[in-house]
């Protein structure tokens, strides 16, 4: 099974991906994570990526495609995979189709911006031990204080209201044509991300079947 997961920041992609992976024995492929790993390991590819990013440019479609092409050859992809963070554009989606043939399904978890912004800005992390919280869903016992080590909790720079709005705007600009692309192919499954985590999972499982 070859899946693409589409959803704004805080739409619950990670949670749903974990459930899909265990039900269908799929590999999870996050191109963002992979790029960060390569940079951290200092591989030839990592150095290339680092210099592209340092120049303020985006990593090219060809480079990303090359990475995905290698990754899906791995053993853990034999039952299929979930792509997260790729394709980001229609051009990338076309290149992916050229590479693997059509995907089975693009799953789009749709949530209104107001709810997403509320979730994003509710995130807090501990600068000392790295524990993460969410004022709405996973609050610390004492407001603003880490349960584990007692340090004052902070917010990531990109989890502020202004940064959150900008991230959502970017997401819409990029994802709307992509959603339309898969819709035209008859491969889009759009699910309402506001019906609760378990109901979202159930809807996706029902769509994909056993």
User: Which residues are near Zn ion by CB under 5 A?
Assistant: 126, 128-129, 131, 146, 148-149, 151
- In the set 2, 95, 119, 123, the catalytic residue is 123
**b or e along 82-95 (b: 16 or more beta carbons within 10 Å of the residue's beta carbon)?**
bbbbbbbbeebbeb
Of the pair 19, 128, the CB lying nearest Zn ion is at 128
Of the pair 151, 202, the CB lying nearest Zn ion is at 151
| Rounded Cα gap, residues 132 and 182, in angstroms | 34
For residue 148, the minimal CB distance to Zn ion (Å) is: 4
- In the set 23, 78, 152, 156, the catalytic residue is 156
Of the pair 127, 196, the CB lying nearest Zn ion is at 127
Of the pair 84, 159, the CB lying nearest Zn ion is at 159
Q: Is 88 a catalytic residue?
A: yes
- In the set 13, 95, 105, 119, the catalytic residue is 13
- The answer for 101, left when phi > 0, alpha when psi is -120 to 50, beta otherwise, is left
For residue 133, the minimal CB distance to Zn ion (Å) is: 10
Of the pair 113, 151, the CB lying nearest Zn ion is at 151
| Rounded Cα gap, residues 66 and 184, in angstroms | 26
| Rounded Cα gap, residues 137 and 196, in angstroms | 12
For residue 146, the minimal CB distance to Zn ion (Å) is: 3
Q: Is 50 a catalytic residue?
A: no
For residue 147, the minimal CB distance to Zn ion (Å) is: 7
- In the set 50, 167, 183, 187, the catalytic residue is 167
Q: Is 187 a catalytic residue?
A: no
- In the set 2, 88, 95, 119, the catalytic residue is 88
Name the 3-class secondary structure at 124: strand
Between strands 123-125 and 132-134, the pairing is antiparallel
For residue 142, the minimal CB distance to Zn ion (Å) is: 12
Residues 100 and 2 sit within 8 Å (Cβ to Cβ): yes
Cβ-defined contacts of 70-79 (< 8 Å, 24+): 71/29, 71/34, 72/27, 72/29, 72/100, 74/27, 76/27, 77/27, 77/29, 79/1, 79/24, 79/25, 79/26, 79/27
Catalytic residue numbers? Answer: 13, 88, 123, 156, 167
């Amino acid at each position: 099974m070859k899946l693409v997961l589409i959803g704004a920041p805080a739409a619950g992609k990670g949670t749903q991906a974990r459930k899909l992976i265990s039900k269908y024995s799929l590999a999870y492929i996050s191109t963002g994570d992979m790029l960060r790993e390569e940079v951290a390991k200092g591989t030839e590819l990592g150095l290339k990526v680092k210099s592209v990013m340092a120049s303020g440019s985006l990593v090219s479609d060809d480079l990303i495609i090359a990475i995905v092409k290698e990754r899906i050859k791995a053993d853990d992809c034999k039952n299929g995979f979930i792509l997260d963070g790729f394709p980001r554009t229609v051009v990338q989606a076309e290149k992916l189709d050229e590479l693997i043939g059509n995907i089975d399904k693009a799953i789009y978890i749709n949530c209104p911006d107001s709810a997403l912004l509320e979730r994003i800005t509710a995130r807090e992390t501990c600068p000392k031990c790295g524990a993460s919280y969410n004022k709405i869903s996973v609050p610390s016992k004492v407001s603003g204080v880490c349960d584990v080590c007692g340090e004052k909790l902070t917010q990531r720079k990109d989890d502020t209201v202004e940064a959150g709005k900008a991230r959502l705007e970017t997401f819409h600009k990029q994802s709307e044509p992509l959603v339309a692309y898969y819709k035209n192919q008859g491969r889009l499954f759009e699910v309402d991300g506001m019906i609760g985590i378990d109901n979202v999972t159930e809807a996706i499982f029902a769509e994909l079947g056993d």
